[in-house]
Each structure stands twice: as C-alpha cells, then as structure tokens.
Amino acid sequence: MSDQLTLSAETRERAGKGASRAMRREGRVPAVIYGEKQEPVMIHVEEKVLVKMLSTGHFMNSVVMIDAGGATTRTLPKDVQFHPVNDRPLHVDFLRIGEHSSIHVNVPVVFTDEEASPGIKRGGVLNIVRHELELVCDAAEIPEQIEISLAGFELGHSIHISSITLPRGAASAIEDRDFTIATIVAPSALRSAEADEDEATPEA
C-alpha cells in the first residue's frame, strides 16, 4: 500500500500572480484544497519539503494529510505545475477525499523475473507501452506499484490488462478495451538474422 504523507501548510488570504511570486521568493509554494462539495481553501507549503516528497516518485498516488490552520485534511494530489526552465514547483492542487473514498490514481508498473523469460533470454526486448496503470481503488488501499512477472513470456508475447491480477479492491479505470501493457519484441538485429536464415533455406 502507498505511504500516507503529512504536509504542514499555512492558509493564505491573497491570490493572484503578485502574491504567488512573493511566496515563491520566500521558499513557499502556493496550493489549493478543493472538492467534497466544500469551499476551496488557499494554502502555501514549504518548497523544500514538497520537493522532497515529489522526489519519492509516489507523491501523486499517496494520501497527503495537510495540516493547516489547526485542522487536518485528507487529500490526494491531483496536479503540480512546474517552471518550464528550472522545474521548480509553482502550484499544487489537492483534492479532498474521505477515508474510504473511491478514487482514480495512476500506479507505476514494475516488471520482474526477466531472467525467467525465454523471449528475453533469446535477446528479446521488453517494449513497455504503459509505465502506469489508471486504477479505481479505495483511498485507504492505494497500491504503491503493480508488479508484473515476465516468467514464461516468449518473443512476440503481449501482456494485456486482462491477464493482470490487481490488488483486492482495485480495478482498471479503462473498461472498454483489453489494452496492452507491454510486449516482448525481437531486436532489429535478431529480426534481420532470422530473415537471412529464411532466405538461405532452400525451398523444398
């Protein structure tokens, strides 16, 4: 299960570009909490702490408890805006969620058992089509990652969402098609060698 994070914040009264620029000069990042049919709350958080959380790679699919103004709010990060040149975070959107809300999250995919794949042993290459899966799950049970074993996969085999066993309570947010997650393909050199072999084989 994905970790639950805690982020200290302060409420802000002023909005607008001027106020936001002033906050960023002080090492703060403007943000907003919205959702659950409540009024949005404007806040700002410490940039260094936010950057550290972003560096974990799991920030966008982690529950973040925001402590602001003496109240704690359960949220899910929905969007982070970055500076186009220096990649500093400029603004964050947090969605209020209940403890057991049904939420959409993008969960990273991790492939295991490459050494047990005959296709890869023959020189095949794992072609990853989707690095993340969009899932619907309970806010208290967000998977940290989805592990997919490559054991037994041959050249030309494809891995589809229908063949993946998702964690209990999680389901794919895409239901209208059996999409491909990854394929094991022959590298160009291997394909060329096989083509040469076919041409050199005399016809019966």
Q: How many domains does the chain have?
A: 2
The model's pTM is 0.75
Q: Is residue 197's pLDDT more than 90?
A: no
Q: For residue 170, what pLDDT band results from cuts at 50, 70 and 90?
A: very high
Residue 195 pLDDT: 59
Instruction: For residue 28, give its domain range.
Output: 4-98
What value does the mean pLDDT take over residues 186-195? 62
204 within domain boundaries: no
Q: With b meaning 16 or more CB within 10 Å and e meaning fewer, what string describes 93-125? A: bbbbbeeebebebebbbebeebeebebbeeebe
Same domain, 158 and 187: yes
Same domain, 73 and 130: no
